[in-house]
């Protein structure tokens, strides 16, 4: 089976009415995933035995009619720790790491009787935009196997796009949910910073990281955020704001709303077909009764430079713990303590991770802190103020998720600067801590194009309302790749 022709509500109704059991659903899901994984490399670990045991236990317990996600298989990005299930962050450094606790989001999924099907491939320690920096394998885009699926959450996006699962979790530090969602033609949401607990996430950039869902539809995405959002005492950065029902108000209406379209988001370097998709989306919103205005986010052009200084600085700090002593990879035949440190890190980390550690360490060093890190933090404040100004008069912002559709495997991997520029339209959202969504909005050379929607802090309801209205007015979300099964 695949999940192309169904949604959460339909599956839940079948489970409640015993038209299908969770065990049957899980077996069919595993069969699809294993068949496609040879082509796609979406998974690092498929947890077949535990998934079937969970599904059987859910069936014996009975499906609660009020629990939409009970018995539904979900995939998890491999930097989210799962008790008793190997969590590698796609790195040699953690190739055999078996966590002794669950991340808070995993605890919430288990409390809702979700079936965790496996751990998805990603860029090493979430550092990359193509899922090519994984120590284990390169994931392929289901729309074209010679193309990347985006990153760093490429495995999660791929398995949803290919119909392997109904939903998956990813993390987004500078676009790592939204960009692969755009490249693979699915819905991906980065919630407001603090909306979802980061406890149990293998840290990359602590002021930027956020967990979010991948799904095929906006409504299913909102339903998954419903159960993973909320305050967590383990995470001092998690918000204590009440969590609303994100599926409420999805009526397809944006009448009277004001939409902002930043001129900088359609500038040089943006593919012409991507521009057309965004302008067509603007016309769609107008036809639905919204007003669309051109606006300016003048400091967004500095976003990439500021982001890579801040994120790399935070990464250099977060990755200090991997030293070959406490856990993780340890080099063999070492001669002394310094040898343990140097060789374990040199052998355990890949090139992209080393590059960012060096950049971050340099930016934080005594002679360069003011010139680089402090300046980047000041630019971040200017970017936040730009968004605040736009949101004084507008309900949400639209633009491309990525400047181009998916690029070829190996095409940008040896050019870090070119690779980093793929994040130019997504990093401002993380820098400002805002919620952002990518959803299907068209095609360029037979590859999906994503529309990015950005809302005010903690206003995911508007994000979903706008996304749902666009989705219902178009058919792009109904398109499916051949690799996932019969259309």
Write the pLDDT tens digit of every residue in 53-82.
Answer: 999 999 999 999 999 999 999 999 999 999
* 3-state class (DSSP) for residue 355: helix
pTM of the shown model: 0.97
Taking only the tens place, the pLDDT of each residue in 281-303 is: 999 999 999 999 999 999 999 99
Taking only the tens place, the pLDDT of each residue in 109-119 is: 999 999 999 99
Between the CA atoms of 71, 51, 149 and 127, what dihedral angle is there, to the nearest 10 degrees?
Answer: 110
User: How far is C-alpha 80 from the chain's CA centre?
Assistant: 12
Residue written as tokens 């069919």? 28
The tokens describing 180, both together, are 């692969």
Max distance between CA atoms of the chain, in angstroms, equals 71
How far apart are alpha carbons 208 and 171 in whole angstroms?
Answer: 10
Q: How many residues are present in the chain?
A: 487
The tokens describing 54, both together, are 């969970």
The tokens describing 430, both together, are 């993380």
Q: Are 441 and 451 in contact (CB under 8 A)?
A: yes
Q: What is the mean pLDDT of the chain?
A: 96
Q: Of 22, 130, 134, 152, which is the active-site residue?
A: 152
Q: Which residue has the higher pLDDT, 268 or 185?
A: 185
Q: Of 22, 77, 108, 413, which is the active-site residue?
A: 77
Listed residue (225, 228, 230, 227) closest to 215, CA to CA: 225
Q: Are 155 and 131 in contact (CB under 8 A)?
A: yes
Lowest model confidence (mean pLDDT) among 2-6, 128-132, 387-391, 470-474: 2-6
How far apart are alpha carbons 301 and 161 in whole angstroms?
Answer: 31
Taking only the tens place, the pLDDT of each residue in 224-235 is: 999 999 999 999
How far apart are alpha carbons 166 and 114 in whole angstroms?
Answer: 12
For residue 104, pLDDT over 60 is answered with yes
176 is catalytic: yes
152 is catalytic: yes
Q: If you average pLDDT over residues 455-466, what whole number do you get? A: 98
Residue written as tokens 């919204």? 290
Query: Is the dihedral angle over the CA atoms 477, 479, 484, 487 positive or is it negative?
Result: positive
Pairing of β 436-444 and β 187-190: antiparallel
Contacts of 192 (CB under 8 A, 6+ apart): 210, 239, 433, 434, 435, 457, 458, 459, 460
Strand residue runs (E) in 242-364: 258-262, 291-295
The tokens describing 369, both together, are 């802190």
H or E element, residue 160: helix 154-161
How far apart are alpha carbons 330 and 322 in whole angstroms?
Answer: 9
Distance set, CA 483 to CA 39, 444, 458 (Å): 8, 18, 37
How far apart are alpha carbons 216 and 102 in whole angstroms?
Answer: 26
How far apart are alpha carbons 281 and 268 in whole angstroms?
Answer: 19
| pLDDT of the residue at 419 | 85
Peptide bond into 64 cis (omega under 30): no
pLDDT confidence bin for 416, thresholds 50/70/90: confident
269 Rama class: left (phi>0) / alpha (psi -120 to 50) / beta: left
| pLDDT of the residue at 485 | 40
For residue 350, pLDDT over 70 is answered with yes
For residue 407, pLDDT over 60 is answered with yes
Task: Give DSSP secondary structure letters for 2-69.
Answer: -STT--HHHHHHHHHTTSS-HHHHHHHHHHHHHHHHHHH--EEEE-HHHHHHHHHHHHHH---TT-TT
For residue 305, pLDDT over 80 is answered with yes
Q: If you average pLDDT over residues 19-40, what whole number do you get? A: 96
pLDDT confidence bin for 422, thresholds 50/70/90: confident
Burial class (CB in 10 A: 0-12, 13-18, 19+), 16: middle
Q: If you average pLDDT over residues 196-215, what whole number do you get? A: 98
Q: What percent of the chain has pLDDT over 90?
A: 95
For residue 487, pLDDT over 50 is answered with no
How far apart are alpha carbons 231 and 118 in whole angstroms?
Answer: 26
Q: Of 130, 134, 161, 176, which is the active-site residue?
A: 176
CATH of domain 8-255+411-422+436-478: 3.90.1300.10
For residue 153, pLDDT over 90 is answered with yes
Listed residue (443, 445, 442, 463) closest to 453, CA to CA: 463
Q: What percent of the chain has pLDDT over 70?
A: 99
How far apart are alpha carbons 346 and 140 in whole angstroms?
Answer: 28
How far apart are alpha carbons 77 and 46 in whole angstroms?
Answer: 12
């Amino acid at each position: 089976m695949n999940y192309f022709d169904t949604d959460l509500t339909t599956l839940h109704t079948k489970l409640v009415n015993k038209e299908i059991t969770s065990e049957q659903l899980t077996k069919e899901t595993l069969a699809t995933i294993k068949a496609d994984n040879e082509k796609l490399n979406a998974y690092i670990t498929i947890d077949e035995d535990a998934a079937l045991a969970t599904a059987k236990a859910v069936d014996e317990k009975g499906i609660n009619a009020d629990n939409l996600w009970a018995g539904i298989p979900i995939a998890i990005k491999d930097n989210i720790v799962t008790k008793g299930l190997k969590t590698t962050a796609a790195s040699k450094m953690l190739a055999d790491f078996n966590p002794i606790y669950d991340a808070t989001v995993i605890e919430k999924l288990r409390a809702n009787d979700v079936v965790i099907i496996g751990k998805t491939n990603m860029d090493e320690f979430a550092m990359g935009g193509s899922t090519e920096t994984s120590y284990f394998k390169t994931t392929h885009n289901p729309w074209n196997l010679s193309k990347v699926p985006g990153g760093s959450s490429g495995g999660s996006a791929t398995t949803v796009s290919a119909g392997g699962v109904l939903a998956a979790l990813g993390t987004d530090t500078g676009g790592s949910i939204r960009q692969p969602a755009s490249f693979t033609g699915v819905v991906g949401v980065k919630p407001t910073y603090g909306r979802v607990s980061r406890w149990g996430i293998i840290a990359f950039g602590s002021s930027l990281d956020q967990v979010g869902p991948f799904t095929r539809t906006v409504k299913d995405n909102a339903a998954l955020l419903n159960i993973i959002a909320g305050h967590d005492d383990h995470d001092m950065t998690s918000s204590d704001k009440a969590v609303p029902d994100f599926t409420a108000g999805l009526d397809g209406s944006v009448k009277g709303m004001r939409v902002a379209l930043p001129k900088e988001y359609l500038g040089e370097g943006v593919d012409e077909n991507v521009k057309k998709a965004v302008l067509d989306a603007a016309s769609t919103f107008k036809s639905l009764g919204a007003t669309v205005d051109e606006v300016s986010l003048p400091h967004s052009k500095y976003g990439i430079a500021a982001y890579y200084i801040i994120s790399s600085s935070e990464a250099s700090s977060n990755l200090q713990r991997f030293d070959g002593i406490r856990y993780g990879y340890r080099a063999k035949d070492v001669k002394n303590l310094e040898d343990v440190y140097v060789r374990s890190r040199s052998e355990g980390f890949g090139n992209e991770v080393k590059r960012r550690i060096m950049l971050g360490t340099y930016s934080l060093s005594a002679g360069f802190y003011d010139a680089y890190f402090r300046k980047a933090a000041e630019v971040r404040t200017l970017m936040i103020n730009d968004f605040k100004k736009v949101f004084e008069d507008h309900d949400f912002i639209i633009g491309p998720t990525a400047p181009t559709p998916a690029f070829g495997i190996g095409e940008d991997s040896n050019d870090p600067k070119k690779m980093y520029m793929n994040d130019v339209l997504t990093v401002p959202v993380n820098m400002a801590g805002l919620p952002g969504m990518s959803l299907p909005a068209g095609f360029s050379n037979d590859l999906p194009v994503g529309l990015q929607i950005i809302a005010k802090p903690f206003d995911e309801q508007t994000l979903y309302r706008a996304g749902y209205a666009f989705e219902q007015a178009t058919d792009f979300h109904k398109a499916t790749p051949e690799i996932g099964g019969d259309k």
